[in-house]
Amino acid sequence: MAMICKRLFFFVFLFISFNHMQAQKGIIPEPYTVLLQEGNFSFSPRTIVSFNAEVLADEVVVFNDFLIKYYGISLKTYSKVPPPNAVYLKLDKSLQGEAYQLEIKSTQILITGTETGIFRGLMTLFQLLPADFNGTANLPCLLIQDAPRFAWRGMHLDVCRHFFPKEDVMKYIDYLAMYKMNTFHWHLTDDQGWRIEIKKYPELTSIGGWRKGTLIGHASDETQKTDTARYGGFYTQDEVKEIVDYAAKRHITVVPEIEMPGHSLAAVTSYPWLSCKKASDGVATGWGVFENVFCTSDSVFTFLENVLDEITPLFPGEYIHIGGDECPKVNWKTCPVCQTRIKELNLKSEEELQSWFIQRVEKHINSKGKKIIGWDEILEGGLAPNAAVMSWRGMESGVEAAKQKHFVVMTPVSHCYFDYYQGNPAAEPLAIGGYTPLAKVYDFEPVPAELNAEEAKYILGAQANLWTEYIGDFSHVGYMLFPRLLALSEVLWSPAVQRDYVSFRSRLLTQFDRLDRFKINYARSIFEIKKTVVSDTIKRQLSVELSQEFQQGDIYYTLDGTTPSTTSMIYAKPFSVLSDCELKATVFDKDGKEKGKTSQTFSVSKSSGASIKLTYPPSPYYNYGSPYTLVDGILGRIPWNGKEWLGFSDNDFEAVIDLGKSETVSSVKVDVLKAEISWIYMPEHMTVSLSSDGKDFYVANDWSLQNDPEAGRTIGVVIKPSTARYVKVNLKKFGEIPTGKPGAGNGAWLFVGEIIVN
């Protein structure tokens, strides 16, 4: 595509009116270049869309569909020579793929490109219409030249944990189209439900599509409760065709996911002969990882091939997703069929058996002219020859696969899991855990620095995943998706050098007006008051700073747990917290309307505000910048929220706290997390050592899980009151996750929230 000189852009920019800036300000993802020009195009109900009906009819129908659905307006269409005052769509084969050019002149709007490019251009035009569009609008004259950075710009939806009917799925596809995403990853089968009709195996949906109840609350709650309402649903093949066609008309490819060999309890419940044990306790009603998986018998492969033979013709895209994640191998270890298979094939382990399983399925899918993509566990035991990898547990597997010359889609839990919290959990609907705020998504870079230019070509792009264990209705889907989808779309579409969070944030406000108009639910978490507990290690005090991403008014606060009003203390500068208290803060705008809030309980101890050093760094995925979070007077929250916890996976934990002067120390406690469903375990052992000089330490006391297996989240030791300035805490990680638990065989994580010295 032709380059537009950025300097020229600035020159012209000086002459444009405020209106122009307003109109252009809203586009997300930000186009490659926008050249604003003098003049306006007057968009009115008389504006006509002119196009070549043989090739561009679908694009026009869909554009009109967007106008009708979201603005209640439609345009007349005309398939001959463009009259004045027309939107003229013209194929231009010199532009490739998704590239387009959108030119607004005072007499005409001209969009050129391939069919796909023109559709993306129409979505830009859709965004240029103001949020209060009522059929007429003055659009600024401009020239946009645009093309995406990545070929795979995906968004996933889990319809198994909760089911969303066809109409919701279509709305979801609309949302993706609006923001120029091009891939919809449809997670269709899992332990909690099989959601696609397979004519040869009707019980997959008549039995496997339904469960007897659903977990209430969080999977890591102490006591587990389940309701007794039969829950489920599925898509008929006709509905699937309709959805795939709907997506295709929006230039979105649907990638179906049929999970194997794990996450297959719904299938195994429908046909128990699919499992090693030839039995099942039923479709799962709770969340997690289940041991009852597909056996490796020949009849399982016949079944899977028959299923895939019905799946592949329904999805015209290149890839079929075969899952491959989180497959417990316990049953395989004792199953005569699986063990014979291992011997006959001369395999070394159950991991190699899984690799063989995936390769066998790959051969079949390849024979149908399709390719497989799978979660990054498919690297274990050897990657199937033509497989693409979805790197979810981090970026490392993606790097490894790219180095092996396999295509990769990046979707790391650190940046791309939209089921994680996006704001203060106290103010958010219940979520699985984690912390992925908008700014973090915006900060995501899909191409890791350790890849050279040749290897980087294997990174197809990225996607975010929306697992729905805790998302029961479609409005909540909107809440988790927006505004993070907008950040992701800009990461994946716009040039990396152009990325600018401040600019994005200002354009976001325009988008919020549109989402309001379209009655699409979105999270307002970024309007929350941000609180930062800043280190005042000289005074050894907690100092609390309050701020807003968007200045919406003054912040008023209380420290006694009462609800703030405009007569409460007004926030002017950071304040000290010297004893246990409950902070509540609210922003009121000039009309006294509440605009955002926050709250926080502080537990102040001798270590609060002390200086702290960690001997080994936390995992980069669960390290929010500073070890100070362990002495900030804030216990980690449950469900775990990455921001308040530091996570350790490679190393044990060692911290040295400097109390600043000699103090009497009589107890040391540590706030640790137990969330086995997320692979997070209590430590095996804790040692507390004291020192007066920070060099010579003596062991004051220790604790072990073995002696205290029922320990709660705060573990610790009492010490004969001793004088010390330095306190060292060592925690030994749990080790390997036991058989039968989620993540069995992997190393357990250790999460630490606070160290409390008294």
**Where does this chain bind ligand ACM (CB under 6 A)?**
325-326, 375, 392
Which of Zn ion, ligand ACM, none sits in contact with 276, Cβ below 5 to 8 A by type? Answer: Zn ion
CA quadruple 609, 440, 162, 740: dihedral sign: negative
Cα dist from 217 to 164, 408, 469, 480, 688, whole Å: 20, 35, 10, 18, 36
Which of Zn ion, ligand ACM, none sits in contact with 325, Cβ below 5 to 8 A by type? Answer: ligand ACM
Of residues 330 and 347, the one with the C-beta less far from ligand ACM: 330
What number of chain residues touch Zn ion (CB under 5 A)? 5
Residue with tokens 């491959």: 324
For residue 423, the minimal CB distance to ligand ACM (Å) is 22
Of residues 375 and 588, the one with the C-beta less far from ligand ACM: 375
Of residues 365 and 416, the one with the C-beta less far from ligand ACM: 416
For residue 123, the minimal CB distance to ligand ACM (Å) is 29
295: contact with Zn ion by CB under 5 A: yes
CA gap 420, 592 in Å, rounded: 32
342: contact with Zn ion by CB under 5 A: no
CA gap 175, 159 in Å, rounded: 17
757: contact with Zn ion by CB under 5 A: no
Of residues 304 and 389, the one with the C-beta less far from ligand ACM: 389
338: contact with Zn ion by CB under 5 A: yes
Which of ligand ACM, Zn ion, none sits in contact with 724, Cβ below 5 to 8 A by type? Answer: none
Contact 652, 616 (CB under 8 A): yes
Q: At residue 519, what are phi and psi to the nearest 5 degrees?
A: 55, 40
- H/E run at residue 543: strand 541-547
Site map (CB under 5 A) of Zn ion, residues 255-284, x = contact: ---------------------x--------
Active-site residue list: 190, 263, 326
CA gap 172, 60 in Å, rounded: 20
Which of ligand ACM, Zn ion, none sits in contact with 392, Cβ below 5 to 8 A by type? Answer: ligand ACM
Contact 697, 726 (CB under 8 A): yes
For residue 486, the minimal CB distance to ligand ACM (Å) is 22
Which of ligand ACM, Zn ion, none sits in contact with 487, Cβ below 5 to 8 A by type? Answer: none
Contact 646, 629 (CB under 8 A): yes
Of residues 432 and 748, the one with the C-beta less far from ligand ACM: 432
- H/E run at residue 460: strand 459-464
Contact 719, 688 (CB under 8 A): yes
For residue 12, the minimal CB distance to ligand ACM (Å) is 47
CA gap 295, 287 in Å, rounded: 22
337: contact with Zn ion by CB under 5 A: yes
Which tokens hold the place of 92? 């231009």
Which of Zn ion, ligand ACM, none sits in contact with 335, Cβ below 5 to 8 A by type? Answer: Zn ion
For residue 292, the minimal CB distance to Zn ion (Å) is 11
Identify the bridge partners of residue 356 per DSSP, sorted by sequence position: none
Q: For residue 736, what is the DSSP state?
A: B
For residue 209, the minimal CB distance to ligand ACM (Å) is 21
Closest of 654, 724, 729 to residue 693, by C-alpha: 724
Q: For residue 397, what is the DSSP state?
A: H
For residue 332, the minimal CB distance to Zn ion (Å) is 6
Of residues 335 and 737, the one with the C-beta less far from Zn ion: 335
Of residues 375 and 640, the one with the C-beta less far from ligand ACM: 375
Contact 273, 302 (CB under 8 A): no
Cα dist from 483 to 206, 437, 509, whole Å: 37, 10, 10
Catalog residues that contact Zn ion under the rule CB under 5 A.
276, 295, 335, 337-338
